[in-house]
Amino acid sequence: MESVSAAKVYEKNGISFFHIKSEKFKTVRIDVFFIEPLNKEKASSNAIIPFVLKRGSESYPDQQKLAMRLEELYGAGLSANVMKKGENQIIHFNADFVSDQYTAGKTKLFDEIGNLVIEIITKPALENGSFNSNYFEQEKGNLIQRIKSRVNDKVHYSLLRCMEEMCKDELFAVYEDGDEESAKALTREKVYEDYAALLRESPVYVYISGIVSDSEIKTFVDKFDSIRRNNIKSIVVPNVKKDIPEVRRIEEPMDISQGKLCLGFRTQTEANSPDYYPLAIYNGILGGGVQSKLFQNVREKESMAYFAFSRLEKFKGLMVVCSGIDISNREKAEKVIAEQLTAIRNGDISDFEMDATKKTFETGIKSMQDSQGAMVDFFLSQHISNINENIDTFLERLLEVSKQDVVRISERITPDTVYFLTSLSEENS
């Protein structure tokens, strides 16, 4: 398999351009990421921006005209979203399309779609010097609905709530879409002002994936000179070290029958630390798959959990153990989960657990290389953590981890918060 890396090809005005070369895809992707520090006052405003921009531009002012243009460009796809990594909120635009070598004639798809992406980002459909009011109000409604609907997936909700409670006095506690109150208070004038600041001041990462010539990339890069840039912000590097004097316990009642128990830990390990690799293996052994201690002991052996897993938030140095349990099993589940952490700390790690965990990583990383989007996300995560290594090196370092490394890293895992999503009847009983 070819070794895939993201070569930095240009950097100017706080915009970094990378080319991910791979011969295996018949498609090309353009991904543009604006990186903003998480901020409670601006989170909802930033979160609505990509969706309003995607509604139309100066040349293609409505969805129908934009869709027709994309159809002309061999059915190209255009998407936008918002996410967070650590204490940064990320506004993302993406276009994917057929590589020029697979189109008929002399179509310059990369050039055409590059122009369209930049127009969508820099020349929105306006009304009286601000965003189109219909688009804005519709997307405001969609944003409020997205914020409200996060409660629908109880597993994901409990995981997020545990981390928010862990970091309640830190920037990380801000949800990527902001909060309902802030979303309801948005005005198109204020959001347009925040959009102009985003264009002007945010660090930007641009990834071009697929077969594209150096000259085409240079032409595309030069088009970004049209964006006026100054006072470029820094990317937030979260503080991951924290003393925890005592474990906090949070209960949230809801109309549910199955409890969701989440145990939050501080890993005390930065994303760019050499210790991240043993931490990743530790997490895999603890709760990263069917071979893990949580799955085998909490779910299979004790039959007390409908699911049990652990997840890292690598940028903020958090780990959360999540399980779905009968509400009456809460204390027993906590005890059995604690036993699994103790077992690893005591070196009770079988060769099978080590090998199966590494195999899971190997399979996952190899399959990631079958997706341009997954590779872009991998490299973005590396770059905002100030890591510059290719996928092969990343895998090699994981495979080099020893049992002693895992035991060593386990000693710094610090309990922080126990969050329990419980039923209303429990609260009333």
One-letter amino acid identity for 373? Answer: G
Query: What percent of the chain is predicted at pLDDT more than 90?
Result: 87
| Whether the predicted pLDDT of 428 surpasses 50 | no
pLDDT at 425: 73
| Contacts for 243 with CB less than 8 Å, ≥ 6 apart | none
pLDDT at 304: 74
Look up tokens 């902001």; give the residue: 178
Q: Smallest Cα–Cα separation from 410: which of 266, 294, 289? A: 266
- How far out from the chain centre does Cα 49 lie? 18
Question: Please, are residues 219 and 183 in contact by the beta-carbon 8 Å criterion?
Answer: no
Distance CA 399, CA 366 (A): 13
Is 15 in a helix, a strand, or coil? strand
Which two structure tokens, joined as six digits, stand for 86? Answer: 């650590």
| Whether the predicted pLDDT of 104 surpasses 90 | no
pLDDT at 5: 86
Instruction: Tell me how long the chain is.
Output: 429
The predicted model gives 25-37 an average pLDDT of 96
The predicted model gives 274-298 an average pLDDT of 92
pLDDT at 299: 72
Answer whether 0.85 is exceeded by the pTM: yes
Distance CA 387, CA 384 (A): 8
One-letter amino acid identity for 336? Answer: V
pLDDT at 202: 97
| Whether the predicted pLDDT of 2 surpasses 70 | no
Structural domains of the chain sorted by starting position, each given as residue range(s) with its CATH number in brackets: 6-226 (3.30.830.10), 248-428 (3.30.830.10)
pLDDT tens, 118-151? 999 999 999 999 999 999 999 999 999 999 999 9
Q: Kindly report each contact of residues 111-117 with a partner whose C-beta sits within 8 Å and lies 24 or more positions away, as own/partner.
A: 111/216, 111/219, 111/220, 112/73, 113/30, 113/73, 113/76, 114/30, 114/219, 114/220, 114/223, 115/223, 116/57, 116/60, 116/69, 116/70, 116/73, 116/76, 116/78, 117/30, 117/32, 117/78, 117/93
Question: Please, are residues 233 and 285 in contact by the beta-carbon 8 Å criterion?
Answer: no
pLDDT at 301: 73
pLDDT tens, 159-171? 999 999 999 999 9
pLDDT at 4: 83
When pLDDT is cut at 50, 70 and 90, the band that residue 424 belongs to is confident
| Whether the predicted pLDDT of 106 surpasses 80 | no
Secondary structure percentages of the chain, helix, strand, coil, to 5: 45, 25, 30
Is 412 in a helix, a strand, or coil? coil
Which two structure tokens, joined as six digits, stand for 254? Answer: 């809801």
Look up tokens 């959990």; give the residue: 305
Mean pLDDT across the chain: 94
| Whether the predicted pLDDT of 249 surpasses 80 | yes
The predicted model gives 237-258 an average pLDDT of 93
Question: Please, are residues 17 and 231 in contact by the beta-carbon 8 Å criterion?
Answer: no
Beta bridge partner(s), residue 16: 11, 205
pLDDT at 30: 98
pLDDT at 231: 94
| Whether the predicted pLDDT of 8 surpasses 90 | yes
Distance CA 320, CA 326 (A): 19
The predicted model gives 32-57 an average pLDDT of 97
Is 378 in a helix, a strand, or coil? helix
One-letter amino acid identity for 234? Answer: S
pLDDT at 388: 86
| Whether the predicted pLDDT of 263 surpasses 60 | yes
Higher-confidence residue of 424 and 7: namely 7
pLDDT at 429: 44
Q: How many CA atoms lie within 13 Å of 231's alpha carbon, on the beta-carbon side?
A: 6
Separation in Å, CA 198 to CA 127, 201, 304: 20, 6, 48
The predicted model gives 212-238 an average pLDDT of 94
Which two structure tokens, joined as six digits, stand for 104? Answer: 């008929």
Cα angle value 299/304/307 (rounded, 5°): 45
Cα angle value 339/341/347 (rounded, 5°): 100
